Amino acid sequence: MLPVGLMAQQQPQPQRTAAPRAGAPALTPAQREAQGWYTELMQIGARLQAAQVKAMEDPQLKAAQEQLGKDFKEAIVKADPSLAGIDARAQAMEAEAQRAQQAGDQAKLARLTQEAQQIQLKVMTAQQRVLQENSALATRARNFEEQLRRKMVQVEPQTMSLVARGQELQGKLEQVARAQQGAARP
C-alpha cells in the first residue's frame, strides 16, 4: 500500500478502452465499465493531488518534507554512492529527451527511457534498503505521511474515502488487465 501522499501522485496505466475509431467495433459492456472505472480513478487522483498541493501550503509541513527529502537523499547516496549525481543526470536526460522528441529520434528516446527505468529501479532498491536499515528515518517518513494525511483530510474531508475508492478501482482495473492479458495468450 502506498502512503497517502504518494498515492495521490501515482498515475495508473491506461487501459485499452478508448472510444472506438470509425469502423472499429463498439466497446463491449465490460470495456465500457472499465473505461468508467478508469475515468473515475483519474478524477479521484486529481482530487487527491489537489488536496495534497493545498495541504503542502502549510509552512511546517513543507519544511518537514524538505528536511525529510534532504535526509533521505543523503541516506540513499550513503547506501549507494553511485547515485550521488542522479539529480544532475535526471535533468540532463530531460533535456536530451526534449531534443530527441523534437528531432523525432525514437531510438534516442527508447535509450533514454531504458536508462530512466534502470535508474528508477536502482533508486527504489536504495530507498527500500534505507527504510529497512534506518528505522529512525523510516519512522520520520511514516510520521510525515500521517501529518500529510491529517492535513489532506482538513482540506478535503473525503480524502480517506477517496483513497479507499481509488484502491478499489485500481484493483478492478488490474483484474481487467490480467484478464485481457490472459485472453491475448494463445
pLDDT above 90 for 30: no
Q: Using CB atoms within 10 A of its CB, is residue 55 exposed (0-12), middle (13-18) or buried (19+)? A: buried
User: Does the pLDDT at position 15 exceed 50?
Assistant: no
pLDDT at 13: 43
> Is residue 7 predicted with pLDDT exceeding 80?
no
pLDDT of residue 3: 37
pLDDT of residue 21: 55
End-to-end CA distance of the chain: 33
**Measured distance CA(44)–CA(159) in Å, rounded:** 9
pLDDT computed for residue 143 by the predictor: 96
Mean model confidence pLDDT for the chain: 86
Residue 163 to residue 76: CA distance in whole angstroms: 28
In the chain, domain spans: 31-184
Question: Quick one: what percent of the chain has pLDDT higher than 70?
Answer: 85
pLDDT at 4 over 50: no
d(CA 87, CA 77): 11
The pLDDT value given to residue 147: 96
- Look at the block and give the residue holding cell 528515518: 137
CB proximity list for 28: less than 8 A, separation 6 or greater: none
The amino acid present at 102, given as its one-letter code, is Q
**Per-residue pLDDT band at 31 (split at 50, 70, 90):** confident
Helices (H) and strands (E) in the chain, counts: 7, 0
16: left (phi over 0), alpha (psi -120 to 50) or beta: beta
**And the C-alpha cell for 39?**
475515468
pTM over 0.75: no
How far is Cα 76 from Cα 74, in angstroms, rounded to an integer? 5
pLDDT-derived band at 179, boundaries 50, 70, 90: confident
Contact in structure between 170 and 12 (CB atoms under 8 Å):
yes
Grid cell, residue 135, equals: 528505522
Contact 49, 8 (CB under 8 A): yes
Tens-place pLDDT, residues 107-165? 999 999 999 999 999 999 999 999 999 999 999 999 999 999 999 999 999 999 999 99
